[in-house]
Structure 1
Amino acid sequence: MADIYIDDLAHPVLTDAQRAAHEYTCSLQVDLDPAAIMAEAEATTGLQDWGAMDFLERLELLCDEWRADDGLTPIGRMSLRGKLLQHATSRLLIHDMFKRHPEIHDIQIKEPIIVAGLPRSGTTHLLNLMAADPRLRALPLWESYEPVPLPSEADNGAAVDPRYQRCEEAWQNMQLMTPHLAAMHPMNPDHIHEELELMGPNFASYNYEWLSFSPRWRDHYYREDQTPHYAYMRDVLKLLTWQQRDTARPTRWVLKCPQHLEQLPVLRKIFPDATVAVTHRDPVDVIQSSVTMLAYGQRMSRKTVMTTALLDYWSDRVEHLLRACMRDRAAYPPAQSIDVPFRQLIRDDVGMVERIYHKAGLAMTDTARTALAAFATEHQSDYGRVRYDLKGQFGISPDELRERFDFYFDAFPFLRKED
């Protein structure tokens, strides 16, 4: 499979499909109004009980910030509104399920295996690899987007779950509109995804920063105690476990999210018996991968591509993640945690999983090894196809940017040995 080099990153040359999408939506007026979003969610579900209303402040902040962003295209606004509507709809459905079935709270999420690491540092591959083990429960993308079916779609006997079908249609559209983005970050329905998505119905997490340039949201997130949102996410995991209670589906979860790096004490509070695998990669590799991916996506969501702003923003965010990780790494003791150097993971991913399992008290059986090896072989070409040009596209050389992270290399010297 050929490498990908995006030679029009800052000044996109649109495909016919991309141009047609912009032309079709150019006069579209998108209403980023909390009341309108909530009213539509109520009409869709037939429900009106939102539970605790503290989420409203967060919803209003997101709408206000994105409404004031005149750099967004109508497609960008429509995508953001769609995500907020999806979260609002799920919130109503989740709260209704808890009201009707309080026994869900009796479910225990026991001894999860959780991957924490910078975005683009191997976390996705490691998660999906472990998810191939039939003894572990993981979260496919379609289920993370819509944890609870709509009342009209529950038990309707459809051959394909409508939630799965909607996710598949979005994946097909992504491959058409932004094919290189699809290559960098697969979003097919069966792809194992971050549990962070389950905080969305509580209008929480740093996920919104990935959806659009959102410094106000970031500052709010920094100030707010994330413990209630992690508890909410855990409770939705309980709900998902409960929904499959009469099947042979496993109940020990394997999870991952980069946000955990800066929330390790909170993670420990909510999942005290977890085993945590912390991935480590050169931050420059992480940043150039992230900003290239985000800049490419902006050809659809923004009127101009923000290469300089993206570099500044995500260099700061990566530094914040790393400094928080260094400060709080001891939240999980050695008996419950392991460091995973990126290049060691790439060289022997199944062997690394066996080391993680040893920490987690989970034996590596022949059946599990065969399943993991098959996944690794099948997906060996999924990653590393994009060629980056940090200096040419973002105006800074890798060595210049790397100096900013000497503190991290000093704390984890094995990263220097990997060079």
Structure 2
Amino acid sequence: MTATGSELRVDDLLSAARDKTGLDEFGDDWFLEPLGVLVAALDDEAQLSEQGRAMMHRRLTALLADRLRLRALQRAHPEIQEVRPVVAAEICGLPRTGSTLLHRLLSSSPQLTSTMSWETTYPLPFPGEGADAAERKHRAQQRQQAFLELSPDFGDLHTVAWDAPEEDVILVDRSFTSMSFESFHWVPSYGDWLRSADQSKAYAELHQWLQVLQWQQPQRSDLRWILKSPHHLTAVNTVLDTFEDCSIVMTHRSPARAVPSYASMVSNLTKQYSDTVDDAAIGRYWSERFAASLRAFTRVREARPERFVDVRFDAMLDTPVAEALRVLRSLGRTPGADDRSAFESYVERDREQRSAAHRYTPEEFGLSADQLDADFAFYQEEYL
């Protein structure tokens, strides 16, 4: 895929963020490398439409503005650096493997907390805002509505709720070292860079974002964080090194089902930004990326087996409460009656809110079930 235009420039984005905030201190400039790789890939490969380029200019400017605001907040409140978030687990199976259900289920436990959708979008308090974060929540609702207007079918792929637990990778987006970008755009060169990069500084910044969120709600100090994103498969060792108390909860489902499902989601997202979307290329891309990620995951797991917990997709669908209680025990927490009640209540709400099943076939994305079974046999033989 070739570019139709080049309107994104790193210097322009940095200037726009400074103008937007009136701030100029970004801190350590390590982020300029991933930002530069991403911008080049967006210009050269993504075939952004005029609307897509405008949306990405706003998005990247907003992410940079948050970096400026984070540094300003840390200078104004040095006590933030003393906050100690404890991450109990990162859920990081392949996409479309029941990880969202497990994440939101566990997040309902009175012993755990998670990143909420509205605060991953607006993690920093607005000037004069009260503890209820009313303005940020209102904007998050508006943003969700606008998103669903652009992708009306997305709700059939992934339950969207501005006030529900959401992936912490949205915080990592502000480091420009995130699988989010290749899930919304055709940027294979960026994907190559991401999987060869040392992501330790991005995860150090994720820790800082958790500090900020916990500082805003001190009651979280008594809770442990339960986080989730398939992005973490690109840096499993780094996750374990950054969060010393963290386990990896790995959700498992046949890649012959999971990969085409994710390709369908990516196609849906990419069409917001580009008028030229090659579904077969998307299918092949994610099949190859996930096979490589699972091979790397297997090597890490062999070296640090005590840090992993397994959850199978069928079990999550058949006995979600029992699975959540089992995982909670595996994380060193003793489930109580309040945990069981919270899990049962969430399952009931989820069944009421669940959208119609999304229909797709592997062939729509240049794939076949037989080939996927062959390509992922090393994984399925071990974990399914």
Q: Answer whether TM exceeds 0.5 for this pair.
A: yes
Are the aligned partners of 2:280 and 2:367 in contact in 1 as well (CA < 8 Å)? no
Task: Report the equivalent of 1:7.
Answer: none
Q: Distance in 2 between matches of 1:253 and 1:50?
A: 27
How do residues 50-61 of structure 1 correspond to structure 2 at under 5 angstroms?
Answer: 50-61=26-37
- For residue 283 of structure 2, give the secondary structure of its aligned residue in structure 1: helix
Report the CA distance between 1:30 and its aligned residue.
8.6
Task: Report the equivalent of 2:25.
Answer: 49
CA change 1:372–1:39 in 2 (3 A) is same
Q: 2:316 aligns with which of 332, 345, 349?
A: 345
Q: Which runs of 5+ in 1 are unaligned?
A: 1-28
Matched, 1:288 2:260: yes
Q: Distance in 1 between matches of 2:95 and 2:165?
A: 15
Matched, 1:376 2:347: yes
Task: Report the equivalent of 1:132.
Answer: 108
Q: Distance in 2 between matches of 1:78 and 1:249?
A: 40
Are the aligned partners of 1:116 and 1:258 in contact in 2 as well (CA < 8 Å)? yes
Q: 1:215 aligns with which of 182, 188, 199?
A: 188
Q: Distance in 2 between matches of 1:250 and 1:324?
A: 34
Task: Report the equivalent of 2:232.
Answer: 260
How do residues 98-247 of structure 1 correspond to structure 2 at under 5 angstroms?
Answer: 98-149=74-125, 153-156=126-129, 161-245=134-218, 247=219
Matched, 1:401 2:367: no
Report the CA distance between 1:231 and its aligned residue.
1.3
Are the aligned partners of 1:265 and 1:331 in contact in 2 as well (CA < 8 Å)? no
Are the aligned partners of 2:183 and 2:269 in contact in 1 as well (CA < 8 Å)? no
CA change 1:256–1:332 in 2 (3 A) is farther
Task: Report the equivalent of 2:62.
Answer: 86
CA change 1:214–1:285 in 2 (3 A) is same
Task: Report the equivalent of 1:356.
Answer: 327
Task: Report the equivalent of 1:308.
Answer: 280
Moved more, 194-203 or 292-301: 292-301
Matched, 1:328 2:300: yes
Are the aligned partners of 1:241 and 1:251 in contact in 2 as well (CA < 8 Å)? no
Q: Distance in 2 between matches of 1:113 and 1:59?
A: 28
Q: Which runs of 5+ in 2 are unaligned?
A: none
Task: Report the equivalent of 1:16.
Answer: none
Report the CA distance between 1:72 and its aligned residue.
1.8
Q: Distance in 2 between matches of 1:310 and 1:109?
A: 37
Q: Distance in 2 between matches of 1:369 and 1:205?
A: 34
Moved more, 298-307 or 366-375: 298-307
Are the aligned partners of 1:117 and 1:280 in contact in 2 as well (CA < 8 Å)? yes
Are the aligned partners of 2:283 and 2:366 in contact in 1 as well (CA < 8 Å)? no
Q: 1:38 aligns with which of 14, 18, 22?
A: 14
Q: Distance in 2 between matches of 1:273 and 1:248?
A: 16
- For residue 340 of structure 1, give the secondary structure of its aligned residue in structure 2: strand
Larger Rg: 1
Q: Distance in 2 between matches of 1:396 and 1:133?
A: 39
Provide, for residues 316-340 of structure 1, a one-character-per-residue CA deviation record: whole Å limited to 9, x for no partner. Answer: 1111121111111145433x43111
Moved more, 84-93 or 72-81: 72-81
Are the aligned partners of 1:116 and 1:279 in contact in 2 as well (CA < 8 Å)? yes
Task: Report the equivalent of 1:9.
Answer: none
- For residue 117 of structure 1, give the secondary structure of its aligned residue in structure 2: coil
Task: Report the equivalent of 1:11.
Answer: none
Task: Report the equivalent of 2:51.
Answer: 75
Q: Distance in 2 between matches of 1:331 and 1:261?
A: 15
Report the CA distance between 1:160 and its aligned residue.
6.0
Matched residue count: 379
The CA RMSD over aligned residues, in Å, is: 2.2
Provide, for residues 345-391 of structure 1, a one-character-per-residue CA deviation record: whole Å limited to 9, x for no partner. Answer: 11111111111111122121111111111111111252671122222
Q: Percent identity?
A: 28
Q: Distance in 1 between matches of 2:87 and 2:70?
A: 24
- For residue 193 of structure 1, give the secondary structure of its aligned residue in structure 2: coil
TM-score by length of 1: 0.85
TM-score by length of 2: 0.92
